[in-house]
Structure 1
């Protein structure tokens, strides 16, 4: 018994020392639903630009086309390639042999978000219905840690996230779809955004909020409430791809890259967040590639839609740029990576299988 007590004390002290060594005090997680690694690393796809899936081909070519992939991707995603590539890490460039994949067998949204946020590719979750998630997620775990209580929140465009994050059990602040932000302490900006969201065209239907509204609400919340952990989930890249609009898919990705730039600039201007915050960006699944029509879809019947990517920038992550090692990382590793960056061990507390952290992100 004495040996067990000493071992527990030693493990606890190691965790405390590790936390003291870390510079990351806050985490921002952003997902771009269904955004492909192909556009991230290669820029606009010439086959799709010149296909029936692209309206206004001349306009899109002028805006997003260049002879080489490095130039094309900078045109499409300048924040990724002018900031993260210089100061952070990018995973999943299969052209260089580095792979990033979802481990769940289904390759669509609820299973993908469950995997990212719980670290567990649960085969029971084979649906997009609003069924409460039985798995503990890393956000609710962090929300119970000292110094993080009521400092964790999620703003998402897709209305299913209260189920994915099991709002009733987790007690997290989750604002999804066209839900109002109801806190009476909210400032005028948040009240205005909550009201005006009901006056815009519901271009993606009554349940999926336009991403600019999700971003503006999340940013306003960040500025007023100063959370330690914030999740923003964007939806347009997936929905527009399903509709077969390559023009709007590219435009949405480009716009969301601008959101990320604006977010990062704010984080670097605020004393609470400056040089103390890690930003993690990823997608819940990939999409098809060949034949060409397969880019619209994903799932078990769409080859290669398990292929994904993720990017990280923060004070504890070495600025190696594109990761070129011939390895495969899985999205089930992200929950523990998030936890480790803040000095915690989600894997030990989750109560279910959790993937190991990505050591190269945490500086190990």
Structure 2
């Protein structure tokens, strides 16, 4: 009897002192990634050099009218109205290097598969060094959560890029992963319509448009109420590689609007309202010092290790744009996702610690 009482007291002390195990209001998590979207646009708005260069911006008049302003703060608010209104007011934004609020990838490669592996596994594995369709041997946080009581069958991922089934190793993880033009096998009229659209639409970037990835994810969320949902957009990276700065900005703006739409649904549904944390980030950065390098990323371009993150939810104390000097890493995101739901993420490899500053009340 005494031993049981002592155990209860010790457990209570651990829960009270460890922010990872403390009682939390978050019951659901939504993660969104915007492939290769630079911190420079997120925090400074439209780049004047790239806007004025007709090699990269063919629609400069529209872009100037739509997204530029007298100050960088006004420009970024026009480009990302959801980030700089709702999240600025109710959440946090990390990664503005003008304040030495730095966030970087920990992997040495600075491109997509290594970045997404790092986000989801918390482990910047040096063996993950290509974008090839190789089944990931590392265990990811989505698969971990899918094994927890109350979460089994309630974890799903939707992506535009067709490598995600391999990154998340859907064959081992058991989570639902829908990528590119995967058929939506569900008895739901809205999902059936999206399924038809994705096969009939043009594919300028050789993958389905991000809007169809988003609509599939949103309607799946409405129909099946997942507790963990991951949406991975792709167009920003593709347009950047193509040197189309105007299209890169338009896609970034559209993705901000999609996230806003999703948040409106979350807050309209009692299953999710005030119980859901939203995390937004990217897999890598892009060049900046040499402006022509904005198209590219990789180990030879140091700035492409520079990333950013936004978060908002019932357990996150609003701070807006975080201006404190600190160094965060992409590898911390996986454990942070688990901690927000009250779990300590463990895997078959080392896992980085969560962003404790984000978890503190």
Q: Judge same fold: TM > 0.5, yes or no.
A: yes
Distance in structure 2 (CA, Å) of the matches to 1:10 and 1:132: 41
Q: How far apart, CA to CA, are the structure 1 residues paired with 2:9 and 2:238?
A: 50
1:38-57 matches, within 5 Å, as: 38-51=40-53, 52-57=55-60
Q: What is the CA-CA distance between 1:290 and the residue it aligns to? A: 2.4
SS at match of 2:232: strand
Q: Secondary structure at the match of 1:305?
A: helix
Structure 2 counterpart SS, 1:198? helix
Deviations 1:166-223, CA, capped at 9 Å, x for gaps: 011101100001111113xx31000110121111101111xx2210000000000000
SS of aligned partner of 1:100: strand
Distance 1:315 1:286 in 2: 29
Moved over 3 A (4+): 6-20
Paired residue secondary structure (1:74): helix
Q: Give the structure 1 partner of residue 27 of structure 2.
A: 25
- Structure 1: 5+ residue stretches without partners: none
287-296 vs 101-110, greater mean Cα deviation: 287-296
Query: Where in structure 2 are the equivalents of 1:183-332 lying within 5 Å?
Result: 183=186, 186-205=187-206, 208-332=207-331
SS at match of 1:194: helix
Using the alignment, how far apart are the partners of 1:178 and 1:14 within structure 2? 46
Match of 2:171 in 1: 168
Matched, 1:97 2:129: no
C-alpha displacement of 1:355: 1.0
Q: Is the 8 A contact 1:15 1:344 kept in 2?
A: no
DSSP 3-state at the match of 1:279: strand
Answering whether residue 149 of structure 2 is matched by residue 150 of structure 1, we say no
Q: What is the deviation of 1:303?
A: 2.4
Shift of 1:127: 0.4
The answer to whether the 8 A contact 2:160-2:213 is kept is yes
| Conservation of the 8 A alpha-carbon contact between 1:154 and 1:231 | yes
Task: Name the Cα RMSD after superposition.
Answer: 1.9
Is the contact made by 2:15 and 2:23 (CA closer than 8 Å) also made in structure 1?
no
Q: In the alignment, which residue of structure 1 is the partner of 2:347?
A: 350
SS, match of residue 312 in structure 1: strand
Deviations 1:291-337 (A, max 9, x none): 21100000011121000000000000010011111111001000000
**1:136 paired to 2:135:** no
Q: TM-score with structure 1 length normalisation?
A: 0.94
Question: In the alignment, what sits opposite 1:118?
Answer: 121
Partner in structure 2 of residue 84 of structure 1: 87
Tell me the SS of whatever aligns to 1:304. Answer: helix
| Structure 2: 5+ residue stretches without partners | none
TM-score, normalisation: structure 2: 0.95
Q: 1:7 to 1:128 in 2, by over 3 A?
A: farther
Deviation at 1:11, TM superposition (A): 5.2
Structure 2 counterpart SS, 1:216: helix
Change in 2 beyond 3 A, CA 1:95/1:135: same
Aligned partner of 1:73 in structure 2 is: 76
Distance 1:288 1:189 in 2: 40
2: CA distance, partners of 1:35 / 1:54: 17
